[in-house]
Amino acid sequence: MIGLLAALLLAATTALAFGRVFLGAASSLQLVGAAVAAAGLAVAFERRSLLLSTVASAVGLALAIGLIVFPETTWYGIPTADTLRAALDAAAVVGEQARIQAAPAEPIGPLLL
């Protein structure tokens, strides 16, 4: 129980600190939600097999990217091929956007990845 609480607090604190890079509180709350979900997954699968933990993490990442970064590309919250294409397109331009945008920046897709 202490491990769960410590992981959740660390994840939430880190997400809040990182959220200061973006304008507005909405992106900070989304980052906290994603961090808490990731910490919860980590604690839930810490004693499971490595393969199962890896698959659960990949599914969690796909859901987080679909729901937080590209919600318009999901099908009732489930990531689709359009979500994958949007994420790959955003990953291709993230370096350019990071160079152009000054902090605090608008929470656009490439930077949220």
pTM, whole model, 2 decimals? 0.75
If phi over 0 gives left and psi between -120 and 50 gives alpha, with beta otherwise, what is residue 24? left
* Average pLDDT of the residues in 91-112: 77
Give the list of residues 6+ apart from residue 37 with CB closer than 8 angstroms, or none.
60, 64
If phi over 0 gives left and psi between -120 and 50 gives alpha, with beta otherwise, what is residue 77? left
CA distance 103 to 43: 33
Residue 86 structure tokens: 């949007």
Give pLDDT tens digits for 71-86.
999 999 899 999 999 9
How sure is the predictor about 113, in pLDDT bands with cuts at 50, 70 and 90? low
How high is the pLDDT of residue 81? 92
Residue 61 structure tokens: 């990442």
Rg (CA), the chain: 15
Residue 110 structure tokens: 């490439």
Whether the Cβ atoms of residue 31 and residue 12 lie closer than 8 Å to each other: no
